[in-house]
Structure 1
Amino acid sequence: MRMNLLRIILLLPVFFFCFGSALAADKVQEWPSYALPEKTKPPISVIKVINIFPHDPDAFTQGLVYHKGYLYESTGRYEKSSLRKVDIKTGKIIKIIKLAPEYFGEGITIFDNKIYQLTWMNEAGFIYDLKKIKKINKFSYSGEGWGITTDNKNFYMSNGTSVISCLDPITLKVIRKINVHDGQLPVININELEFIKGEIWANVFMEDIIVRISPLTGKVLSWVDLSGLYSLLPDATGIDVLNGIAYDKINDKIYVTGKYWPYIFEIKLARHY
């Protein structure tokens, strides 16, 4: 499944905010895009950067979710994994819970005033009280844990393959499985997940894209190319791959970041090719 080199335009708005300061930017810039499948049928989405906010550059972001003005973040790495409550505008960590050294933190979601956090290879996850950010329970599942999201009825969970499992949020039993596909091609390495306007948005591990997925059929609805964001990041050897999607449903705002990225970007879809 290799690939055409396409072009995508990242439109910078007249104003965006970085560390609380407004910076003027009114030009259109172009970058080479992520190489998409040769026979891709869904459109390729163009993004607009609305705001830029500070983000802990030491955070190996594995999961990101928005709730009532704050971001909740799961970070990975053995001996360094954590769950955090973060102020969006300042990047300040309001509260942090560190995982035991044998756990590698992964995706998170919020359901019924609880935070659910996956771990990578332990077949175990943790449940936290949302208000107190306090661990209250533990749950188990089969296989690896990568990403998790909810439509407030079910959980959707990825394991790094092309399959997303739909789970009952109470029993945490698998209801059905969704095979993610672009035409006849399976889309593998499905990673961090977010439910946005009836769609599952997913990072693809090691790629600078988000894939928009139908939760009913697994069909790819469009590809969102974010490779242009790297030109807005500082030249630093520690910066890792794109990972982390959060959605503010009330204000219709989408946030994205990456592992060891110093910024969180608020983006909008501008148009499609």
Structure 2
Amino acid sequence: MPYAPAVRPALLAIALMGLAGCGAPVPSIDYEILGTFPHDPAAYTQGLLFHDGHLLESTGRYGESSVRRVDVPTGEVQARVAVDSALFGEGLARVGSELIQLTWKSGRAFVYDLETFEVVREHVYDGEGWGLCYDGESLWMSDGSSTLERRNPQTFAVVATMEVTAGGAPQRRLNELECVGDWIYANVYQTDRIVRIDKRNGEVLGEMDLSGAPLSARRPGDIEAVLNGIAYVPETGVFLVTGKLWPKLLALRLDG
């Protein structure tokens, strides 16, 4: 039975509204998996970075949060400091000879000596802490929304905020961050996506789909064991990525 003429304009309007809400698709970033390394399957990875031949990692969960130095080839934890059991560790960034670790809902950021892991001071902030990275000038911080905050690395004061968009729509659930040149790479929480953000305007200009990562690298059957953790090795241009509770660390080379 054909649609009545009076119904057609309404259907057309709905269709056009749907099209108007869809931006241009975000280009895919191809990558090659170069290999895997062991990763502590009990580490609830929240922040990850590479420095001086080692991984520096922040782990979360109440009563299990820590900051650690990890040997990449073996996955051995070479140094570790526990976070107060009442706090939930989050993102991690290195600023010179210090590390800064966020906490989830406590509004406290701890500054550690890079070598000793001794807490040397503390910052306070409003809202939730998720991901953190340092671009050599500013700290960038996520809170699970589509907004990134740019912060002063010495005072931790907010300098500016930036809305992140993908195809014209807000890109929400930004989590762990890695600053690389003009880009910020971000895990999208509870997905297998890593997005590449232009830090000049917040536009997502590419994304990696890690759904094809080997099952042996994951922890199947655990809904909390999601992709989270991006570290860049500037000497080789390789990315090291993992997930919460994953038994492997993946080494990736991007094609574009």
Q: 2:213 aligns to what SS in structure 1?
A: helix
Distance 1:235 1:129, change over 3 A: closer
* Structure 2 residue 180 is the aligned partner of structure 1 residue 196: yes
Offset at 1:181? 0.2
Length, aligned pairs only: 235
Name the Cα RMSD after superposition: 1.5
User: Paired residue for 2:232, among 247, 251, 260?
Assistant: 247
Choose 1 or 2 for highest CA Rg: 2
TM-score relative to the length of structure 2: 0.88
Query: Amino acid of the residue matched to residue 231 of structure 2?
Result: A
Q: 1:143 aligns to what SS in structure 2?
A: coil
Q: Would you tell me which structure has more helix in proportion to its own residues?
A: 2
Partner Cα distance (1:113, 1:71) in 2: 15
Query: Amino acid of the residue matched to residue 127 of structure 1?
Result: V
* Structure 2 residue 74 is the aligned partner of structure 1 residue 102: no
Distance 1:270 1:188, change over 3 A: same
Distance 1:176 1:252, change over 3 A: same
Unmatched runs of 5 consecutive residues or more in structure 2: 1-20
Q: Percent identity?
A: 38
1:50-82 Cα offsets, whole Å, 9 max, x none, are: 120000000000000100100010000011111
Q: Would you tell me which structure has more strand in proportion to its own residues?
A: 1
Query: Amino acid of the residue matched to residue 165 of structure 2?
Result: H
Q: 2:212 aligns to what SS in structure 1?
A: helix
Offset at 1:251? 2.2
Distance 1:57 1:38, change over 3 A: farther
Q: Which residue of 1 aligns with 2:202?
A: 218
Distance 1:243 1:70, change over 3 A: same
* Structure 2 residue 157 is the aligned partner of structure 1 residue 157: no
Partner Cα distance (1:98, 1:57) in 2: 17
Unmatched runs of 5 consecutive residues or more in structure 1: 1-36
Partner Cα distance (1:94, 1:242) in 2: 23
Q: Which runs of 4+ in 1 moved over 4 A?
A: none
Partner Cα distance (1:105, 1:219) in 2: 28
